[in-house]
Amino acid sequence: MTFIAKKLAAGAATVLASSLIIFLALSRAPGDPVALILGPHATNAERAAMSARLGLTDPVLVRYWHWLTDALHGDFGNSLLYRQPVSGLLGPRLMTTLILVGLSALIAVATGVALGIFGGVTPRARPLVSAVTGVGTALPGFVVSSALISIFAVNLAWFPTFGAGHGFFDQLWHLTLPAIALAMSSAAYVAQMTAAAVNDEAGREHVATATGRGLPRSVVLRRHVLRNAAIPVLTVSGLTAASLVAGSVVVESAFGIDGLGSLLVKSVASKDYPVVNAASLVIVIVFVAVMTVLDISQTALDPRLRERA
Amino acid sequence: MNLLDIEHLRVDLRSRERRGAPRTVIHDVSLTIAPGEAVGVVGESGSGKSMTVKAVMRLLPRRATVGGTLEFRGTSIPAMPGRDLARFRSQLVSMIYQDPRAHINPLRTIGDFLIEGVVASGQMNRAEALEAACTLLRDVGVNDPQRRLSQYPHQLSGGLLQRMMIVMALLPSPELVLADEPTTALDVTVQSEVMAILTEQIRERSVGLLFITHDLDLAAAVTDSLAVMHAGTVVERGPSADIYAAPRHPYTAALLASRPSPTSVARPVSIPGRPVSAFEAGEGCAFASRCPYAIGQCRTERPEPRTAGTRTVACHRSDELEAVLAEGVRA
Ligand SMILES: Nc1ncnc2c1ncn2[C@@H]1O[C@H](COP(=O)(O)OP(=O)(O)OP(=O)(O)O)[C@@H](O)[C@H]1O
Ligand SMILES: [Mg+2]
């Protein structure tokens, strides 16, 4: 229990530190928010007034403190480009991206682990599995996206070609193809790592002990091979899920999905720093959340880690 | 009827490469274990001791081919169908491995490890098994068995873990225990203690024992008979006391001469040359290149094991050398 509390505290500390680093980095970034708001024809007096109103004249740490206290109340300031609260922009897009990444992680881990176990326990199927996973890893995401769109969205018309939909189930339907495109190479990677882990664990001496005691093959497999392989597989799955957050940017633009990734890209291009700041932080939070869950479940699976905790 | 009969066992390993030649790892191993008898197998590293017990347990790698006969109470082990093999492994024979740390699943509790076999085979239910395990743990000198059952392997010392292995092996009340260098991986200070526990439990229950070791002194002390292995072949076999007092094979004599003496600080004379594996042995006697008594015949013709009285020896010159070799031990 105290262990979980410790992990959560560590996660919160990471997020806090990241928020400071992001804030400092963006305060040094090129681009002038005052010019962005007032346009090129403003007078110097108008600029000075706006600067003061935005609090830009304060030292950076003071500005960070103001930003942080507001952020803790859910107020991330206003977008310079859209002229509306950042939280309002972020909320629905975060939801879209979370569904996309969650669905994609589910597909990647489920198919990857299933394929990996199959390849790991049936030596004869191993060449087939490594061929399939080899192709899966090698295909770039945008190629997969285009192929999926042309087959399932255009020719068969089973799925929409564009957009993220409205309402949870409509969103799921809209995001299925993008999630598959996003999951493809991760699934292949998870499959390869799972097959390797299962193969490694099956060769351990304690597995020979279990077999030598006359335990049925299925029991040996379940309790001594798969149980032990679960730890590396979990690690790979967690890291993969976290990397999908970054990968979602490409897929969102290929499928014209208005998610967190595309918002971030757009805001960086237009130097809309309040949005960049908040969106980066949200991505950090999602990442840290995944890693914390991973850490806690690893400890639950491995008694040797529990000791040290 | 004998518990275990091994006759002219031969094991070849097919090469991993498709075209590679198979490697002989066991050439000719014959030995028997009567009910309740303790048999020692000694020999240098690589002589095929572990392979022999793996063959008995049918734990050889898939690319191994087995020749000769392996019988448990008259039933062929290689021919056992799955159901009989499961019963054989779970109830009739148990194996104690060299390195308990590697041979026990680190993620499961000691309790799970101990009772898993007897519960899976249906010999006992969980509660009975836990109770039997506690009793056995006390027998082998573990205080506080309840607490140990809920611990994990990494929380136990090597010596304690090996006692757990002994308890695991004895729990199904097997007729035969195979112990492959059960104390080699342990700290020197606990080796004799663990060995004493093992032999005491085995004797008390009159279980058959196949005891593998490098240590000829130890083997002679705890076993009834001995098989001396060299390069995949049993070169000499007979009652332990006889072999210890008067070896008939030059290799046995060399092993006896090369062991460190507890009473003398002089360096033992090691056997000249390097241990040979079975697949490296040419046409003649595999020991010929290292044997001080080798003659021409030894290099061209492999000696067949011949039995005289209680001893079986595979050496062309064993009769003529009898006096010389016995003298060497006394010196
Ligand atoms: N998996 C394997 N593949 C190929 N050869 C092997 C394998 N395992 C063992 N061998 C070979 O088989 C021979 C016998 O090995 P074995 O392990 O039975 O020796 P050992 O007498 O138990 O030695 P030690 O005292 O070191 O345990 C050795 O020459 C070894 O090189
Ligand atoms: Mg060995």
Q: Is the pLDDT of residue B266 over 60?
A: no
Name the residue of chain A whose CA is nearest to B85's CA. Answer: A214
Given ligand 1 and candidates B10, B26, B47, B54, which is best to mutate, with the most ligand atoms within 8 Å of its CB?
Answer: B47
pLDDT for B309 equals 86
Query: What mean pLDDT do residues B201-217 have?
Result: 92
- Chain A: nearest CA to B294, how far in angstroms? 40
Residue A200 touches chain B, beta carbons under 8 Å? no
State pTM to two decimals: 0.85
- Nearest Cα residue to atom 17 of ligand 1: B50
Under the phi-then-psi rule, with left for phi > 0, alpha for psi from -120 to 50, and beta for the rest, what region is B104?
A: beta
pLDDT for B27 equals 92
Ligand 1 pocket residues where CB is under 6 Å = B 13, 25, 43, 45-51, 61, 277
Q: What phi and psi values does residue B238 have, to the nearest 5 degrees?
A: 165, -175
Contact between chains at B88 and A214 (C-beta distance less than 8 A):
yes
Given ligand 1 and candidates B10, B11, B25, which is best to mutate, with the most ligand atoms within 8 Å of its CB?
Answer: B25
Nearest to B11 by CA among B317, B309, B268, B233: B233
Mean pLDDT per block of 10 residues along chain A (309 residues) reads 85 91 82 73 79 76 87 84 85 89 94 93 85 84 76 78 73 83 90 94 95 94 95 93 84 83 86 86 89 90 79
Q: CB-CB: which of B85, B107, B120 is closest to A303?
A: B107
Burial class (CB in 10 A: 0-12, 13-18, 19+), B136: buried
Question: Quick check: B40 and B209 in contact, CB under 8 A?
Answer: no
- Partners of B13 in beta bridges: B23, B64
Burial class (CB in 10 A: 0-12, 13-18, 19+), B274: exposed
Q: Chain B: which residues have CB within 8 Å of chain A?
A: 57, 59, 85-91, 94-95, 97, 99, 102-108, 116-117, 120-121, 152, 154-155, 168
Q: CB-CB: which of A205, A215, A227 is closest to B116?
A: A215
Residue A209 touches chain B, beta carbons under 8 Å? yes
- Nearest Cα residue to atom 28 of ligand 1: B46
- Nearest Cα residue to atom 18 of ligand 1: B48
pLDDT for A76 equals 84
Residue A301 touches chain B, beta carbons under 8 Å? yes
Rounded to the nearest whole angstrom, what is the distance from the C-alpha of residue B320 to the centroid of ligand 2? 33
Q: Is the pLDDT of residue B277 over 80?
A: no
Name which of B83, B96, B105 to mutate to probe chain A: the one with the most chain A Cβ atoms within 10 A of its Cβ. B105
* Structural domain boundaries enclosing B264: 4-330
- Indicate the number of domains in chain B: 1
State whether ipTM is beyond 0.95.
no
- Nearest Cα residue to atom 22 of ligand 1: B50
- Among residues 211-250 of chain A, which lie with CB inside 8 Å of chain B? 211-216, 219, 223-224, 227-228, 231
More confident residue, B85 or A248: B85
- The band of B167, judged by pLDDT with boundaries at 50, 70 and 90, is very high
What pLDDT, in 10s, does the model give residues B1-56? 899 999 999 999 988 877 778 889 999 999 999 999 999 999 988 899 999 999 99
Q: CB-CB: which of A208, A223, A307 is closest to B59?
A: A208
With b meaning 16 or more CB within 10 Å and e meaning fewer, what string describes A258-288?
Answer: ebbbbbbbbbbebbbbbbbbbbbbbbbbbbb
**What is the helix, strand, coil percentage profile of chain A, to 5?**
80, 0, 20
**What single DSSP character describes residue A302?**
-
- The band of B268, judged by pLDDT with boundaries at 50, 70 and 90, is low
- Domains in chain A: ranges and CATH: 2-72 (no CATH), 89-308 (1.10.3720.10)
CA distance B256 to B323: 15
Contact between chains at B103 and A227 (C-beta distance less than 8 A):
no
Tell me how many residue pairs between chain A and chain B have CB atoms under 8 A apart.
71
| Per-position DSSP letters for A50-97, written without gaps between them | HHHHHTTTS-HHHHHHHHHHHHHTT---B-TTT-SBHHHHHHHHHHHH
CA distance A204 to A208: 7
Given ligand 1 and candidates B49, B56, B181, which is best to mutate, with the most ligand atoms within 8 Å of its CB?
Answer: B49
Contact between chains at B154 and A228 (C-beta distance less than 8 A):
no
pLDDT for B54 equals 95
CA distance B256 to B250: 10
**The residue type at A139:** L
Contact between chains at B154 and A204 (C-beta distance less than 8 A):
no
pLDDT for B267 equals 55
If you average pLDDT over every residue of chain B, what do you get? 90
- CATH number of the domain that B112 lies in? 3.40.50.300
Of the ranges A30-34, B268-272, B314-318, which is most confident?
B314-318
Nearest to B86 by CA among A90, A213, A100, A233: A213
pLDDT for A152 equals 80
Q: What phi and psi values does residue B8 have, to the nearest 5 degrees?
A: 45, 45
CA distance B168 to B117: 8
